[in-house]
């Protein structure tokens, strides 16, 4: 019996020594893991915040894109009508007999005015198309993950 007591006492002493050494070695590793987990949690929170901001900006860009598309759809018939009017005027000028200088000057000024307005509309439509393309590229950039 005394041998059993000694064995239990000696065994528990060895177990405590081993436990202490294991705890001593793993304490630093566990602290490193805890620090890394905390860092990853902060990064996750930051990523969620940035993703929410990107979603808001994308929603705004999509709204702008839809508005631009509506405006473009609204303007296309007007441009087509002006092109038709311009072509009709060109045909009339080609078929019209010679006029005096005042009438010719007035007709030419009307044609030039129509051509000027037509050019302005083309410039505006080209600008809108570029803006729509930029918004589309922005949308595609937001939808694709960052490299």
Chain centre distance of CA 72:
21
- What domain count does the chain have? 1
User: Residue 80: what pLDDT?
Assistant: 87
User: Residue 147: what pLDDT?
Assistant: 47
Each of the 147 residues of the chain gets a pLDDT tens digit; together they read 566 776 666 677 777 776 767 776 677 777 888 899 999 999 999 999 999 999 999 999 999 999 999 998 889 888 888 888 888 888 877 776 666 778 778 888 888 899 889 989 988 888 888 888 888 888 888 777 654
Give the range of the structural domain holding residue 14, as residue numbers without chain letter. Answer: 2-143
pTM of the model: 0.40
How far is it, in rounded angstroms, from Cα 62 to Cα 76?
21
User: Residue 96: what pLDDT?
Assistant: 60
């Amino acid at each position: 019996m005394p041998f059993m007591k000694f064995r239990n006492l000696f065994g528990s002493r060895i177990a405590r020594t081993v436990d202490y050494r294991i705890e001593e070695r793993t304490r630093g590793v566990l602290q490193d893991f805890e620090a890394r987990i905390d860092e990853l949690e902060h990064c996750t929170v930051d990523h969620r915040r940035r993703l929410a901001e990107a979603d808001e900006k994308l929603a705004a860009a999509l709204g702008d894109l839809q508005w631009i598309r509506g405006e473009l759809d609204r303007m296309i018939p007007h441009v087509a009508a002006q092109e038709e009017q311009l072509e009709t005027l060109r045909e009339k000028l080609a078929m019209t007999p010679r006029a005096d200088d005042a009438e010719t000057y007035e007709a030419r000024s009307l044609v030039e005015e129509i051509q000027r307005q037509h050019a302005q509309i083309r410039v505006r439509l080209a600008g809108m198309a570029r803006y729509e393309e930029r918004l589309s590229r922005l949308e595609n950039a937001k939808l694709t993950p960052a490299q």
